[in-house]
Amino acid sequence: MAEHRYGLGNRGPAVAEIRSKLTQLGLLAAAPDQDLDPGAAVFDESVDRAVRQFQQQRGLTANGVVDAETYRVLDEARWRLGDRLLSFQAGHLLIGDDVATLQQRLLELGFGVDRVDGVYGPSTERAVKEFQRSVGAPPDGTCGPATFKALARLSPIVTGGRADALRESERIHRAGPQLPGKVVVIDPGHGGVDRGCFSHGLSEAEIAFDLASRIEGRLAATGVRVFLTRGRDTSPDEAERARFANETRGDLVVSLHVDEHPSPEAGGVATYYYGTVGDDDMRSTLGERFAGLVQREVVARTDLRDCRTHAKTWDLLRYTKMPAVRIELGYVTNAGDALRLSDPGFRDVVAEAIVVAVQRVYLPPDMDSPTGVLQLGQLIR
């Protein structure tokens, strides 16, 4: 299943499984006749609509195609808290909606979880152990029937706000406004034999690496420690990039990409942060703020169309422990965007906009500047 893509017109047992998962989530009406004969299951327009709705809710690309990523998230969505034992398993992390529910519940009760992301990692294990100690249960970090019951008995001690957002804000406050000593990870998309988007003589991988180098130099001049997730001739996958960022103990991550589209009219800049949409809303509050700062600074300093900020659950955004932003800087398939992207002066302007956005993340309101005003020279002391 993980190696295939399913969309309109496909048939067979895999489609029956997709239909079953969508039905379980309440996104698709049951089809008893197809349930009885998996081989006859059809990926029809109703399935297409349900898949697009699910993708939209979960911060995936809403194209109606069930690829490996969409299938994985569909599978994660089937779990409800109490369906299975939950514990930290290094090298084989438990992932699912039940973990996200557990994390949200722990946060509401005042126990520290880095982020509500549905991944049972070390942070969630520590929070579970703290909770178990508080209720007199063996602190083994495994969430089983006794822990589930204890969670259900207790009322939240935090209401009217999000505890994880408060923790993120406090972390930024403690870090102080100065850039020297901060650690920023720059992620040039694609690389090596993977050129990414290509049009008008421009390669996404080359643009991203060049822009990363320009940002690296400017950040280093302000005293920031900078790490790149890849060299010019390598192309790690998103999980490897996220693992590298976490190992550096970075404060922020900026992932650099450009886009493409069958229509040559499509163009503009968009930024993305970790999050979902809907009743199960999960997001990085600081990541959302950082994305907004990057978007506004780039739009204010260039004439790229404003395609706004959006929540996504791509692996790099999800698995990084620090706020991460992905920027899609124009469309190489758009003649105007391609002309801008080919200009070194334009890339310099974008690099400065991103550096300024990094600084503004740490500035309190009384020290902040209006969008498009702060200059690099003011950051170098």
Per-residue pLDDT of the chain (381 residues; tens, 9 = 90+): 545 889 999 988 999 999 999 998 989 988 765 455 777 889 999 999 999 999 988 888 889 999 988 999 999 998 999 999 999 988 788 999 999 999 988 988 888 888 888 999 999 999 999 999 998 889 999 999 999 998 888 866 545 555 556 666 777 778 788 899 999 999 999 999 999 999 999 999 999 999 999 999 999 999 999 999 999 999 999 989 999 999 999 999 999 999 999 999 999 999 999 988 765 667 788 999 999 999 999 999 999 999 999 999 898 998 998 999 999 999 999 999 999 999 999 999 999 999 999 999 998 887 888 888 888 777 765
What is d(CA 132, CA 96) in angstroms, rounded to the nearest whole number?
A: 21
**CA-to-CA dists, residue 253 to 76, 227, 281, 336, angstroms:** 25, 10, 22, 28
Task: Specify whether domain 97-159 bears CATH 1.10.1060.10.
Answer: no
pLDDT of residue 278: 63
| Tokens describing residue 124 | 């969630």
What is d(CA 177, CA 356) in angstroms, rounded to the nearest whole number?
A: 12
| Tokens describing residue 98 | 């039940």
Task: Specify whether domain 176-379 bears CATH 3.40.630.40.
Answer: yes
pLDDT of residue 2: 46
- Any idea where the domains of the chain sit in the sequence? 13-77, 97-159, 176-379
Do 301 and 263 meet the contact criterion of CB atoms below 8 Å apart?
A: no
Residue 338: CB partners within 8 Å, gap ≥ 6?
A: 199, 200, 202, 330, 331, 332
pLDDT of residue 115: 81
Q: Strand, coil or helix: what is 294?
A: helix
Residue 365: CB partners within 8 Å, gap ≥ 6?
A: none
**CA-to-CA dists, residue 354 to 181, 192, 258, 289, angstroms:** 18, 25, 15, 13
pTM over 0.85: no
Q: Which of 228, 230, 213 is nearest to 347 (CA)?
A: 213
Do 267 and 302 meet the contact criterion of CB atoms below 8 Å apart?
A: no
pLDDT of residue 19: 92
**Identical fold, 97-159 and 176-379:** no
Q: Which of 272, 275, 288, 327 is nearest to 169 (CA)?
A: 288
Q: Could you tell me which CATH number the domain at 13-77 has?
A: 1.10.101
Do 227 and 327 meet the contact criterion of CB atoms below 8 Å apart?
A: no
What is d(CA 88, CA 53) in angstroms, rounded to the nearest whole number?
A: 31
**Helix 122-134 / helix 97-108 crossing angle, nearest 10 deg:** 50
Residue 86 DSSP label: B
Residue 306: CB partners within 8 Å, gap ≥ 6?
A: 268, 269, 295, 299
pLDDT of residue 237: 92
